[in-house]
Amino acid sequence: MRIPLLLGTRIAVADSGEDGVVLRPPAPGTPLHDVAAAVRDACAYPLAGKPLAELVTRGGTATVVIEPPALPIPASTADPRMEAIAATVDTLDELGVTQVTILVAGGLGRRLAPREIGMLVPPEFRRRFRGRVIVHDVEAEDLVPVADGRIRVARALVDTDLVVTVTAAETVLHGGPAALVRAAGAETLRASGAVSLLETGSSRGWELALQLERALASRTPVFGISLALDLPRVFGGYPYEAEILERLARSRLRRVHGLLPAPVRARTIDRVPRELSAAAVFAGPPSAAHSEALLRAVARKGAALAEPLDAIVIGTPATTAFFPRERPNPAAAAYLGLGLALRLWRDTFPVKPGGTAILLHDFSRRFPAPNQTPYRALFADPRTARDPNALREAEVAAARDTRALDAYRAGRALHPLEPFHAWSSCDPVLSRLGRVLVAGCRDAQAARQLGFVPAQGVSTALAMARGTGAERIGFLLSPPYFPLLG
């Protein structure tokens, strides 16, 4: 079978071979047609604890915690989280809350500008909302210590009568109580991590989230609303319909698309219609609502893998995981394939110990200024990404870089610790793999600096993998990235 895979703004075609395994997610099911009504019902009938109406202080205040979306990638213009946020604020108004504060918990990502915050809510709601909007600053001087002083959080989480999280159950590190962690200090965020993004047992980030939820709940009521999202419906049926694969691989339009300039190719892909919907809405304590929504989402979107693979091929898009979306630098592209796609597993890691991962990306060292400028610290010293001591030295220096911190606080760039956090997210995967090949690599030095092996094209990378004994090779039809269930 010839399999089309995304290589940045291009579409590469790979030959699966006789033993190839095509990893394709199930098609999206029947969506919720009225997300707002589902939110109101969930608030009235939570999974655990009291209904929202019994937690509200009439005439009091409430802080609604939201976060920029991490998944799906590429993103969809219409997101059910928007409707859920508007419905939650409207419900609080109806229950007598006089002052609503929306806290945008962006973690170590760039602090969003007002125009970008408006993209997280419906236009109609944006025009009529009269409350406060606060963009979290992980370096703020007025962060409040909680959990016996172990965690510092935004003051808006403490100086309020009620905290409500409105998120989607994306992973154990995105959504639910993890949104509270993204409203904490830089040191807490840097310590949060996970071996698998779908299992709580090996996640330090989930432990921190539970600690923070309990600490806040001891001071003020904490309520969570979590959405179980479907995978986006993409025009043409990719990647859900088997017939579309061969049709796309042989399409003349694909060849014409490859001849276009990169910016035109990027705009063409961005304009492909994508529809994102919610499958269910749950409410209650943030951890309880998030856990149930995540289980529902994984069961709905996951693809079964009978046994681990010898190698896996992962397509990467020309976009970052952080918001706003930009063309990724090599480390950000590595995070997409290793820190995100290959951590979306449950029960069993999808590749055998010592196996091979093939990333499709050109790995050109582009650092769109000023937002991705902090990523240059990973490439300033040839030893940095592969030498633990050099990496620690570079991270300490970055954390003390006053110019970089000022750029973050002004909303011009990522936090200087974000590149190190993203790169360390790849460690649980790299420790299991024997090698990582970069197919379509145009910057061999960048690949080698990260400890990867550059390859000219997909066929070359597949030949290299088979030359090391890989027989059962999986082809991850992505994006969108989806759970792999052992």
Summarize the confidence of residues 52-61 as an average pLDDT: 97
Q: How confident is the model at residue 191 (pLDDT cuts 50, 70, 90)?
A: very high
pLDDT at 405 over 80: yes
Cα separation, 66 vs 131, in Å, equals 14
- Which pLDDT score is estimated for 252? 83
Question: What totals of helices (H) and strands (E) does the chain contain, helices first?
Answer: 19, 21
User: Are 404 and 311 found together in one domain?
Assistant: yes
Q: What would the pLDDT profile of 300-328 be if each residue is shown by its tens digit?
A: 999 999 999 999 999 999 999 988 889 99
pLDDT at 53 over 80: yes
Q: Kindly report which listed range (29-38, 241-250, 465-474) carries the lowest average pLDDT score.
A: 241-250
Residue 280 lies in a domain: no
pLDDT at 112 over 70: yes
User: Are 321 and 352 found together in one domain?
Assistant: yes
Query: How does strand 345-346 pair with strand 151-153?
Result: unpaired
User: Which CATH number characterizes residue 384's domain?
Assistant: 3.90.226.30
User: Are 252 and 382 found together in one domain?
Assistant: yes
The mean pLDDT value of the chain amounts to 94
User: Are 245 and 120 found together in one domain?
Assistant: no
Residue 468 lies in a domain: yes
Distances in whole angstroms, Cα of residue 65 to Cα of each of 100, 124, 176, 184, 411: 11, 20, 10, 12, 19
Find the helix packing angle between 252-259 and 262-270, rounded to 10°. Answer: 130
Q: Kindly report which listed range (27-41, 249-263, 272-286, 353-367) carries the lowest average pLDDT score.
A: 249-263
Summarize the confidence of residues 413-428 as an average pLDDT: 96
pLDDT at 279 over 80: yes
pLDDT at 70 over 90: no
Q: How confident is the model at residue 285 (pLDDT cuts 50, 70, 90)?
A: very high
Q: First vs last Cα of the chain: how many Å apart?
A: 24
User: Which CATH number characterizes residue 183's domain?
Assistant: 3.40.50.11440
Task: Say how many C-beta atoms besides its own lie within 10 A of residue 97's C-beta.
Answer: 23
Give strand pairing partners of 62: 100
* Residue spans of alpha helices (H) in 344-457: 388-399, 402-409, 418-424, 427-430, 444-449
pLDDT at 382 over 90: no
Q: Above pLDDT 90, what percent of the chain? A: 80
- Which pLDDT score is estimated for 235? 67
Q: Kindly report which listed range (102-106, 197-201, 236-240, 378-382) carries the lowest average pLDDT score.
A: 236-240
User: Are 196 and 256 found together in one domain?
Assistant: no
Summarize the confidence of residues 233-254 as an average pLDDT: 81
User: Are 223 and 308 found together in one domain?
Assistant: no
pLDDT at 386 over 90: no
pLDDT at 433 over 80: yes
- Which pLDDT score is estimated for 138? 98
**Would you say 473 and 310 are in contact if contact means Cβ atoms under 8 Å apart?**
yes
Using the Cα atoms of residue 250, residue 438, residue 193 and residue 310 in order, give the sign of their dihedral.
positive
Enter the tokens of residue 352: 């055998």
Give strand pairing partners of 14: 3
Cα separation, 28 vs 5, in Å, equals 20
* Residue spans of alpha helices (H) in 222-280: 242-250, 252-259, 262-270
The whole domain housing 63 covers 35-229
Q: Count of domains in the chain?
A: 2
Enter the tokens of residue 262: 């990169």
Residue 277 lies in a domain: no
